[in-house]
Chain A
Amino acid sequence: MAQTKKMNEQAFAKLVKEFHAVGELIRARQEEKQSIIEEFDSERERYSAGKISKKALESSVAKTNKEFLRLDKEIRRQIARANALGNMAKSLASQQAPKVFRAKTSGIFLIVKKVKKTKKIGKARKKVAQKKKVKKKK
């Protein structure tokens, strides 16, 4: 019996869910970064007011720079993951292009379009073919 394509709903839902999780993770890392910025700002204010030493602020600078690097790296990694998930979802959706059926008195038939096969010629073969043509002309 003729069967239509059936999308794997679970797989699609899982991808969409993961996308959501990645989005939340990116937002969380962005907020973490913002809080580090604010924390450093307050330390600098304390340094300006003479409440902490220059050495303490210097160590805070190193720590903050390190944290920024870590968070930026993590955000970029999540963006790459989201792109990969998007590609998977795109391919899953485009696989659902419908099969075409035709109803007749003798039953339902699947229509398959014939695809013309074209020979692929590699660069090396093309060169050989061109040389042969030149020889023939001579």
Chain B
Amino acid sequence: MKVKEVEANAKKLDESKLASVIKELHSLGELIRARQEEKQSIIEEFNSEDRRFLVGKLSSRTIKASIQKTKEELKRLDDEIRQTIKDSQKKLKELDKIISSQNPKRFSVNLSGIKEVKGGKK
């Protein structure tokens, strides 16, 4: 166990950085939910078009165009949701890093002053 005499200063968490990462994480969560809702509305829209096709109100050509459009939209939304999930996991890793770097410095006090203790049991 090494004892190092230093000017004693406790670690300080960068609160503003933490707050900004948390804010970003929150908005990513909202984005995922928004895209999921958009996807649901596209499914519902297609379902109603399909019903209109089945009762003969829409032509085969129109429903084919609608299928193509729906497929593209669903793919776009799925890609975006996957990307947002990745981004949120990145942000969570960043948070982990910020938090785990706050592991406390150990100080020991005696009559001669405060010393930082390195190594040894925690």
A residues contacting B by CB (< 8 A) are 1-7, 9, 12-13, 16, 19-20, 22-24, 26-27, 30-31, 33-34, 37, 40-41, 44, 47, 54, 57-58, 61, 64-65, 68, 71-72, 75-76, 79, 82-83, 86, 89-90, 93-94, 96-98, 100-108
Contacts and interface: CB of A to CB of B under 8 A. Distances in A.
Nearest to A35: B10
B13 A61 contact: no
Interface of B: 8-13, 15, 18-19, 22, 25-26, 29-30, 32-33, 36-37, 39-40, 43-44, 46-47, 50, 53, 60, 63-64, 66-67, 70-71, 74, 77-78, 81-82, 85, 88-89, 92, 95-96, 99-100, 102-104, 106-111, 113-114, 122
A53 to B, nearest CB: 12
Given A9-B30, A93-B32, 13 more contacts: A4-B40, A23-B15, A24-B15, A27-B12, A27-B13, A31-B10, A31-B12, A40-B114, A65-B108, A75-B102, A93-B89, A105-B50, A107-B50
Contacts of A34: 9-10, 12
Given A4-B36, A93-B92, A103-B70, A19 B47 contact: no
Contact of B77 (A23, A65, A98, A103): A98
B106 A68 contact: yes
Contacts of A2: 43, 47
A6 B7 CA distance: 52
The binding surface of chain A is classed by DSSP as: helix
Contacts of B104: 30, 33, 71-72, 75-76
Contacts of B107: 37, 68
B108 A96 contact: no
A16 B67 contact: no
